[in-house]
Amino acid sequence: MVNLFGHTVEELRALLAGAGLDCSQAPLLAYWIYRRGETSFSRMFSLPKAVKEYLTVRYFVEAHKPLLVQEASDGTRKYLFGTSAGTVEAVYIPDGRRNTLCVSSQAGCRWRCRYCRTGQDGFRGNLQAGEILSQLHSLPEREKIDHVVFMGMGEPLENTEEVLRAVRILTDPRTYALASRHITLSTIGLLPGLRKILEETKINVTFSLHSPFSGERARLMPVEKKYPFREVLALLSSSPPGKRRRYTVAYTLFEGINDSRAHLQALIALLRDLPLRVNLLHYHVVPGLPFRPASPARTEYFRRGLLGAGISCTVRRSRGEEIAAACGLLSGNGSPDSPRLSPVML
């Protein structure tokens, strides 16, 4: 039997049409699956009897449930999920009127950025669209979530097709009806996938730069050797974001590595005339790695310098570091023996 959770409305339409059934029922079927969270076809009472009988013997609906939850003192919650590729983590971040969910698109990561915990254990597999959506669908906070960011485990643009399917379902008014401007995808700059995302969606894009010098970035991020940052920035610049889309450059400040005056000047020269904003990130220390965060004073120096050059700049507030839920710390290695982890009560 085939799980329908993770199918787009168009895929459900094709499925019904292929069986000789009324394909106009596809939006209603999607509504029951995603909006109502119904798993039994027999209880989808507004569907025609013939559709329900056909689906019951061939298909099922099941979203993955979180296994464990860990909560930080700032209200951030990290959830552990089991998937076909291995365990992954999603992070719920309440912040005033905004409630953000950070989802994973892969188990592990093959790109091995030198400062990141996620890639230290290598790549275990891509997540299917249903496994990505389960990270939202199955949470107790589901109805509160109004922003989704693909900033969890993995590189989303190495799993472009499944990420696109998830985005289509998230933004479909017949399912979750999330506005494109409330979805952000973070990437290290895989150009083929980025082109597809820019062409087929209106979601926000965050590009992880971390150095304005190619050789230094290559030492931090091996992806630079295959997809140079100047080519990524050129692509973003040639695809204007428009009023409801935002392009952001993420710049994590490492003490003594990329936080000098020369780096700031090079960053300004690189970005001054581009339709991008900068988000300065605090580095979260990964045990065993040699990197340390730049001081708050240095972060402020960069912020003021960028703003003074006319470049929009913000400093990302760190959330969930005490439970390893902050950027770069996700590993999918949650253990039920940890005193900070508990079963999820749904």
Q: Please report where in the chains the tokens 């188990």 appear, as a residue.
A: 107
**pLDDT at residue number 336:** 40
Give the pLDDT of residue 240: 86
* Closest to 29 (Cα-Cα) out of 46, 17, 50: 46
Angle at 138 between CA 86 and CA 84, to 5 degrees: 20
Q: What is the sign, positive or negative, of the torsion defined by CA atoms of 145, 147, 151, 155? A: positive
* 210-217 long-range Cβ contacts below 8 angstroms, 24+ apart: 210/250, 210/251, 210/252, 210/254, 210/258, 211/258, 211/263, 212/263, 212/266, 212/267, 212/269, 212/270, 213/263, 213/266, 216/257, 216/258
Query: Do 93 and 186 fall within a single domain?
Result: yes
Which residue, 28, 45, 60, sits at the end of a domain? 60
Shared domain check, 41 and 72 = no
Same-domain check for residues 41 and 76: no
The answer on 52 and 177 residing in a single domain is: no
> What are the tens digits of pLDDT across the range 291-308?
999 999 999 999 999 999
Say how many domains are in the chain: 2
Residue % of the chain over a pLDDT of 90: 91
Last residue of a domain, one of 38, 60, 82: 60
The pLDDT, as a whole number, for residue 338 is 46
Tell me: do 165 and 290 sit in the same domain.
yes
pLDDT at residue 342, rounded to an integer: 56
Query: Does 166 share its domain with 289?
Result: yes
pLDDT at 344: 54
pTM, to two decimals: 0.94
Q: Which residues of the chain have pLDDT under 70?
A: 334-346
In this predicted structure, what is the pLDDT of residue 244?
86
Question: Are residues 321 and 218 part of one domain?
Answer: yes
Strand runs labelled E in the chain: 2-3, 59-60, 66-71, 77-83, 86-95, 98-102, 106-108, 123-126, 147-150, 183-187, 204-208, 247-253, 277-282, 313-315, 341-343
Q: Could you tell me which residues are beta bridge partners of residue 248?
A: 206, 277
Same domain, 56 and 102: no
Here the CATH number for the domain that contains residue 19 is 1.10.150.530
| Residue 242: predicted pLDDT | 82
Q: Are residues 76 and 55 in the same domain?
A: no
The residues carrying an active-site annotation are 89, 327
Q: How far apart are the C-alpha atoms of 139 and 147, rounded to whole Å?
A: 14
Mark whether 174 and 294 lie in a shared domain. Answer: yes
Residue range of the domain that includes 252: 66-343
Q: Please identify, among 60, 78, 94, the residue that sits at the C-terminal boundary of a domain.
A: 60
270 and 292 belong to one structural domain: yes
